[in-house]
């Protein structure tokens, strides 16, 4: 009976993949729907000792009873989707997938234009996945839609209708956002942003759900910050500093080295405000503090607790999920206590 939206708090790669997988494995929603820009996303999921990098498939796929959906607002690259069907065969992803007929399609031409554009590839540092040019064609009303792609016919479903019927029937719906707040075309560090708004309201619209139907907005932050691509980053640290703290990271889609910085409280406050966050999930706490695999809040050090409580006080939003490692078990879930 809950409709939840999960969003990225900063510049993406906050560990949304792990949080979504944990929440879907635990809460077992009936529908897991992907919102956000498209296959520029890279979500990392570690489940039963295996690692998956997902670009279009909802990260909640591990809950095998759920229907998986891609909302109308999301750009679809059929090759990326079919490739994920192959890689996720044992989870019956193909059999459970629904694609909205109104999804716009990324073509080879969009990818070429993305990679060859001096502005997008060099100045902005885009992922090269064709999303910017595709959204531009969508605005120009020249892009092809999923309903007109023969290979997608088996998956075409009115996602908005299914999601709203599920909500009306008292079922649980989980909406996965991608990218992050600071990459929003409206609220991010323009022009160093992605090609669409990336806040909770747009993610709801992506799957065709009105704001009055949404119960929970979970804003995901990492205990430090990472950013791939160009643009302002007020709390950035030097590469040497990041290395000395063991915080080196590389992108899932592009393999690029990520820029690393300290947690930014002002950004967190703005992200919670504009997303209308009702909960915060905090990831990679073990990489900043010595608490790998801790599953109990009382076992965290006073310093770690102070860090978490400060975030809670400053944003006014409860930190309900604390992640202390990549495995689903490495999670402190405080929802029963705090909500």
Q: How far is the CB of 12 from Mg ion (least distance, A)?
A: 5
* Pattern 302-331, ligand GTP, x by CB under 6 A: ---------------------xxxx-----
How many CB atoms neighbour CB 161 within 10 A?
Answer: 11
Residue 284 sits in the site that holds ligand IMP (CB under 6 A)? no
**Which strands form 67-70's sheet, in the order they lie side by side?**
97-99, 67-70, 31-34, 173-176, 3-8, 216-222, 279-283, 319-323, 331-333
Cα→Cα distances 198→230, 281, 282, Å: 18, 17, 19
* Distances, alpha carbon 28 to alpha carbons 63, 65, 71, 124, 254, in Å: 6, 8, 19, 38, 31
Name which position in 13, 84, 162, 216 contacts Mg ion (CB under 5 A). Answer: 13
119 is catalytic: no
Residue nearest to ligand IMP (CB): 229
Q: Which of 2, 26, 44, 295 binds ligand GTP (CB under 6 A)?
A: 44
Least Cβ distance, residue 320 to ligand GTP (angstroms) = 14
Residue 183's H or E segment, with its range, is: none
Interface residue with ligand IMP, options 17, 229, 261, 325 (CB under 6 A): 229
- Terminal C-alpha separation, the chain: 15
Q: Which stretch binds ligand GTP (CB under 6 A): 16-24, 116-124, 133-141, 268-276?
A: 16-24
77 binds ligand IMP (CB under 6 A): no
Binding partner at 195 among Mg ion, ligand IMP, ligand GTP, none, C-beta below 5 to 8 Å by kind: ligand IMP
- Comparing C-alpha atoms, which of 206, 272, 252 is closest to residue 51? 252
Binding-site member from 30, 178, 271, 323 for ligand IMP (CB under 6 A): 178
Among positive and negative, which fits the CA dihedral 206, 228, 330, 44? Answer: positive
Task: Name the minimum Å distance from CB 223 to ligand IMP.
Answer: 17
User: Does 12 participate in binding ligand GTP (rule CB under 6 A)?
Assistant: yes
The binder of ligand GTP chosen from 46, 158, 230, 333 (CB under 6 A): 46
188 binds, among ligand GTP, ligand IMP, Mg ion, none (CB under 5 to 8 A by kind): none
Q: Which of 72, 17, 68, 70 lies closest to 47, judged by CA?
A: 17
Measured CA to CA in angstroms, residue 77 lies from 37, 154, 187 at distances of: 11, 16, 26
The site map against ligand GTP for 272-291 (x = CB under 6 A) is -----------xx-xx----
For residues 295 and 108, give the distance between their C-alpha atoms in angstroms, rounded to a whole number. 45
5, two tokens: 């939206």
Please give the residue ranges that form the binding site for ligand IMP (CB under 6 A). 11-13, 37, 40-42, 124-127, 129, 131-132, 178-179, 183, 194-195, 228-229
Catalytic (active-site) positions: 13, 43
Please give the residue ranges that form the binding site for Mg ion (CB under 5 A). 13, 42
């Amino acid at each position: 009976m809950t409709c939840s939206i999960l969003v990225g708090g900063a510049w993406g790669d906050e560990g949304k993949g792990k949080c979504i997988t944990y929440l879907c494995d635990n809460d077992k929603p009936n529908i897991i729907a992907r919102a956000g820009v498209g296959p520029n996303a890279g979500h990392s999921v570690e489940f039963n000792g295996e690692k998956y990098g997902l670009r279009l498939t909802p990260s909640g796929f591990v809950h095998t009873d759920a229907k998986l959906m891609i909302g109308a607002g999301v750009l679809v690259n059929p090759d990326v989707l079919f490739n994920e069907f192959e890689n996720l065969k044992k989870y019956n992803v193909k059999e459970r997938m629904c694609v909205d007929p109104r999804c716009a399609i990324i073509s080879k031409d969009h990818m070429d234009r993305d990679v060859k554009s001096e502005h997008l590839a060099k100045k902005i540092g885009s992922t090269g996945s064709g999303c910017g040019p595709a959204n531009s064609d969508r605005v120009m009303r020249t892009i092809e839609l999923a309903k007109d792609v023969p290979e997608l016919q088996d998956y075409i479903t009115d996602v908005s209708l299914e999601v709203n019927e599920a909500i009306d029937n008292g079922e649980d719906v989980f909406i996965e956002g991608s990218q992050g707040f600071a990459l929003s075309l409206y609220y991010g560090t323009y022009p160093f942003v992605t090609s669409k708004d990336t806040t909770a309201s747009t993610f709801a619209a992506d799957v065709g759900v009105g704001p009055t139907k949404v119960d929970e907005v979970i804003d995901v932050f990492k205990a430090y910050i990472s950013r791939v691509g160009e643009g302002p980053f007020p709390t950035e640290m030097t590469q040497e500093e990041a290395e000395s703290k063991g915080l080196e990271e590389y992108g899932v889609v592009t393999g690029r080295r990520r820029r690393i910085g300290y947690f930014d409280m002002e950004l967190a406050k703005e992200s919670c405000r504009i997303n209308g966050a009702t909960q915060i999930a905090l990831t990679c706490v073990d990489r900043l503090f010595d608490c790998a695999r801790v599953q109990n809040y009382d076992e965290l050090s006073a310093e770690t607790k102070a860090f978490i409580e400060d975030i809670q006080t400053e944003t006014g939003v409860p930190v309900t999920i604390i992640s202390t490692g990549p495995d689903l078990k490495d999670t402190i879930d405080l929802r029963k206590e705090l909500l």
